[in-house]
Structure 1
Amino acid sequence: MSQYCTFSLDGHVFGVPVSSVQEVLRSQDLTTVPLAPTEIAGLLNLRGQIVTSLELRARLGLPPRDPDAPAVNVVVKTADGGAVSLVVDEIGDVLEPSRDAFEAPPDTVPVSIRGLVTRVCKLDGALMLLLDAARAVEVPVAS
């Protein structure tokens, strides 16, 4: 069985494998990056390591967060040994659903989200969308 770190975005519950999470940070001061894509929230200094902060709402095509609403940074490890911060609305629990609880994303999952979700898991009163963090952090560059 695998454990998943859960978080919410615009009423949706997402999960990423705990093994891919480096740490979770409450609201952080970000340095904006001029001319960066809207998905890039900015940069944060994580004990001397400069980490790109990705606005996951923008990446998933969800409406923007209220400017006064708190945010949480889920720092995930990248394949090259670095880290990227995913800006989310709220952190959830660590869950350990059985392997057979997962299935393919249904058609009711919005198209903008479905491309970055590998599987879904039915929870009590919610549907956890398993985010492909590696694909989510690949921000397309405008040409």
Structure 2
Amino acid sequence: MSAIDPAISASAVDDGIQYVTVTVGEQLFGIPIDRVRDVFVVGGLTPVPLAPPEIRGLVNLRGRVVTAVCMRRRLGLPAREEGAGGTVMAVGLEQGDESFGLIVDGVGEVLRVPAETREPRPPHLGGRWASLASHIHRLDDRLLVVLDVDAVLAFDGEGGAS
């Protein structure tokens, strides 16, 4: 999957809300489809000196400079094991004039969920997770934590996570 079909660009439709699903660790996350530009394989990371640990580096993606953000680090999870192998996937997002790629453990599908399954963030979510989640959806077999893209990409003027 290299790009999201523009014909499915509205995040809310009559029979549900659409999210691009990703996994980080064992958790299923949703990213509102209207925020997703593309899904890509990460290659050729260029490190950024003095960047916060969440910033894995820069990627040249079809002529665009994309800042690669590690969602494991952003969520306070242990880093992926070195030599774990496999393809490194990212979800491309835009914020202002900048391009970002959220590095995730896996990319799922475009999922349409009924609006009535939406619930506020649970009060027991950890501080960092709660600050990055906008709400959740109850699915049949698990919870879908919806990421607040603006919060995930919020870095203060010193380059650190705000």
Deviations 1:66-90 (A, max 9, x none): 1223321111121x14321000000
The higher-RCO structure (CA 8 Å, 6+ apart) is 1
Identity of aligned residues (%): 34
Deviations 1:35-80 (A, max 9, x none): 21101000000111111111111111111111223321111121x1
| Structure 1 residue ranges, 4+ long, deviating more than 4 angstroms after superposition | none
Q: TM-score, normalised by structure 1?
A: 0.91
Q: 1:26 aligns with which of 26, 41, 54?
A: 41
Deviations 1:93-135 (A, max 9, x none): 2111111111011134332211110100111221110001111
The answer on whether the counterparts of 1:40 and 1:53 sit within 8 Å (CA) in structure 2 is yes
Name which one, 1 or 2, has greater alpha-carbon Rg. 2
The answer on whether the counterparts of 2:37 and 2:94 sit within 8 Å (CA) in structure 1 is yes
CA distance in 2, matches of 1:43, 1:58: 16
Q: In structure 1, list runs of 5 or more residues that go unmatched.
A: none
The answer on whether the counterparts of 2:135 and 2:146 sit within 8 Å (CA) in structure 1 is yes
**1:117 to 2:130 alignment:** no
Aligned residues: 141
The answer on whether the counterparts of 1:59 and 1:139 sit within 8 Å (CA) in structure 2 is no
Q: TM-score, normalised by structure 2?
A: 0.81
What is the alpha-carbon root mean square deviation over aligned residues?
1.4
Counterpart of 2:56? 41
